[in-house]
Amino acid sequence: MQRFLILSTLVLLVIAQGVAQDPVKVAAKQCKVVLDNDQVRVLKWVDPPHVKTPMHFHPAMVSVSFTSDKTRYTYPDGKTKESESKAGQATWSDPQTHSSENLSDVTGEVIQVELKKPAAVATGISASEDPVKVDPKHYTVEFQNDRVRVLRITYGPGEKSVMHAHPDSVAVFLTDGQTKMTLPDGKSSEMPVKRGEARWEAKGKHLPQNIGSKPFELVLVELK
C-alpha cells in the first residue's frame, strides 16, 4: 500500500508538471519576459496585492526581490507554504510547480532568472581574475551551487574596482546608477542603469567605476 501511494504521488506530480502552464501565459498581466537566450530566461513579476496566480512551472532559478512581501504557494499535492521576501534578497529555487498568492498589501516586484542548459563550453574564470578575491570590498558571495554563483556588488559614489573577469552572467540592478566600464585595451564606455533592470553580460574582463553621486548596488548571477 505504501509503495502504491508513493507511485501514485509521483505520477500526479509528473502529470501536474506537464499540465502546468508557462507563467508568461497563465499570468500575462503580472509576468513578462525581459531577456531570453540559450542559457537563461529572465522574468519580471509585478504582483498587485492579494492577486492569485494559476498553477505554473519553473525550472531551477534565482529570484531577486525588490519589495518586502509575503506569498503563499500551493503545490500540486495540495500542500501550501508561506514565504516572506525582503527587498534586495536573492534566493535559489529548485524546479517546481505551484500556484501563488500575494498575501501582502503592497505590490510585489521580483526578477526571476530561469536556468536552461549550461553553456556548451565552460565559462569559468581564474582565481587571479576573480572579483571576490581581488576586490572583496565591492564583491561578496550571496550563495553558490553547481549551477550558479550569486554575487552582491556595492559601490559608493565615485568608487572603482580593479581589472577582473566574470563568466556569462545576468546583472540585476537594485538601484539606479551611472557606471563606467574600462576594458583591458583601455577603451571605456559609460552606461546608465535603472532599478529593476536585468542585463545579459557575456564572459569578459573589465574595470567598473560608479561615476554617479549615490551608492550603487546590484546582484550578479554568474553561470557555471
Q: Read off the pLDDT of residues 132-190 as tens digits, 9 standing for 90 and up.
A: 999 999 999 999 999 999 999 999 999 999 999 999 999 999 999 999 999 999 999 99
Q: How many domains does the chain have?
A: 2
Given this model, what pLDDT does residue 20 score? 63
Given this model, what pLDDT does residue 122 score? 65
Percent of the chain with pLDDT over 70: 89
CB 33 within 8 A of CB 42: yes
Least confident interval from 20-29, 68-77, 148-157, 208-217? 20-29
Q: Is residue 84 part of a domain?
A: yes
Q: Is residue 122 part of a domain?
A: no
User: pLDDT at residue 4 above 60?
Assistant: no
Q: Is residue 211 part of a domain?
A: yes
Task: Round to whole Å and give the CA distance between 96 and 115.
Answer: 13
pLDDT band at 124 (very low <50, low <70, confident <90, very high): confident
Q: Read off the pLDDT of residues 75-112 as tens digits, 9 standing for 90 and up.
A: 999 999 999 999 999 999 999 999 999 999 999 999 99
Q: Is residue 44 part of a domain?
A: yes
| DSSP string for residues in 75-141 | -TTS-EEEEEE-TT-EEEE-SEEEEEEE-SSS-EEEEEEEE-SPPSS-----GGG-HHHH-TTTEEE
Show the domain range for 49: 2-115
In a shared domain, residues 86 and 138: no
Given this model, what pLDDT does residue 120 score? 66
Q: What average pLDDT does the chain have?
A: 91
Length of the chain measured in residues: 224
Percentages (nearest 5) of helix, strand, coil residues in the chain: 15, 50, 35
Tell which of 94, 115, 136 closes a domain. Answer: 115
User: pLDDT at residue 6 above 60?
Assistant: no
Task: Round to whole Å and give the CA distance between 28 and 9.
Answer: 30
In a shared domain, residues 207 and 137: yes
